[in-house]
Structure 1
Amino acid sequence: MVDTAEEAQGASGAEWRAGQRVYLVIMDDTEEAARALRFAARRAVRTDGTVHILALVPKQEFVVFGSIQATIEAEARERAEDLARAAAGSLASESGLAPAVAVRTGSGPQVVREYLGQHPEVSALVLGAAAEGNPGPLVTHFTSHLGQLPCVLMIVPGGIDERGIDSFS
């Protein structure tokens, strides 16, 4: 079940315990996100923590015909929910963790900040950097605003393979 409400706990995912480490992963269909999820899952297992998965639905550009825009927005949300659901299923089968899952619409950095504000239990924001070129919009944004984050920022390098992630997580 994908939580689209304000809270990302309960039936949709992990219950948080006081003192437990919570790793927030921003999920999309990139290799960077998959590496970040793998790292977060392994850290959570090793630290008796849990994972929150946040899938972002970008705000759609304004389309003159409202019904077309509504369809585009609904399809984008459905894709994000499917992606988050698949990531949660993969995480559960590989690590035994039942992550909290949320899908939110809006600008990536703004949605992440709002989520962190609503979930003070999050210990670390885990992002994956691209292997080449620009590390990615979220990595770029949050590394330049690091002092304003309420949690640790962990960046998984783009050039690392699964074995490397497993060895240092």
Structure 2
Amino acid sequence: MQRSAYEHGHKPKFLVIVDGSPESDRAIRFAARRAVRTASDLCMLSVITQPDDFEWIGVGEAIKAEAEAQAESFLETASQIAKDLIGIEAETLIRHGNASQEITKLIHEDSDISYLVLAASTNKDGPGPLVSSIAAKLAATFPIPIIIVPGALTDDEINALAG
């Protein structure tokens, strides 16, 4: 797949996944700082995993509405963080489904998305499910570079690295 973010009329975008985790905050800070440093745009995505076992009338819809409200809250907070950091409005999106699949679909749909920014967990159990599934399983065939921010970096360290 040929990327067109650097063609005339296109502007590269940093895509960051927002899920309310501390790691997500690290990724948001890094992506926002890099976006402003490189005159790029910033896109924030929250993916809602659909429950498989709640098909009862009303229960599935209530769970979906609660998940959407939570995703909107996460995105609103993340967008405000980015605005406070760099003074720009980030594009925000909510998708439903498997996170890895929805991220890949979005990248194929929006040719301006040039980088995926994730942050690794500081948890002793590993880097986190999203980093593990995308970086470990899809990295060789992923259509854009994946930037993994160490979750233990301080704000000052991220600012120094990201510009």
What TM-score does the superposition give when structure 2 sets the normalisation length? 0.88
1:55 alignment partner in structure 2 = 46
> 2: distance between equivalents of 1:60 and 1:40?
30
| Partner of residue 134, structure 1 | 126
| Matched residue, 1:147 | 140
Deviation at 1:81, TM superposition (A): 1.1
Counterpart in the other structure of 1:83: 74
Letter of the 1:158 partner, please give it: G
Extract unaligned runs of 5+ from structure 1: 1-16
Tell me the secondary structure at the aligned position of residue 101 of structure 1: strand
**Structure 2 counterpart of 1:73:** 64
SS at match of 1:33: helix
Cα distance in 2, alignment partners of residues 72 and 60 from structure 1: 8
Aligned length: 153
Q: Is the 8 A contact 2:117 2:147 kept in 1?
A: yes
Task: Return the offset for 1:143.
Answer: 1.4
* Alignment RMSD: 1.4
Q: Aligned in 2, Cα 1:76/1:47: closer, same or farther, shift over 3 Å?
A: same
State the Cα distance separating 1:21 from its structure 2 match: 2.5
Q: Counterpart in 2 of 1:162?
A: 155
Amino acid in structure 1 at the alignment position of 2:104: R
Q: Percent identity?
A: 29
Report what 1:40 is aligned to: 31
**Whole-Å Cα distance in 1 between the matches of residues 144 and 9 of structure 2?**
16
Structure 2 spans left out of the alignment, 5+ residues: 1-7
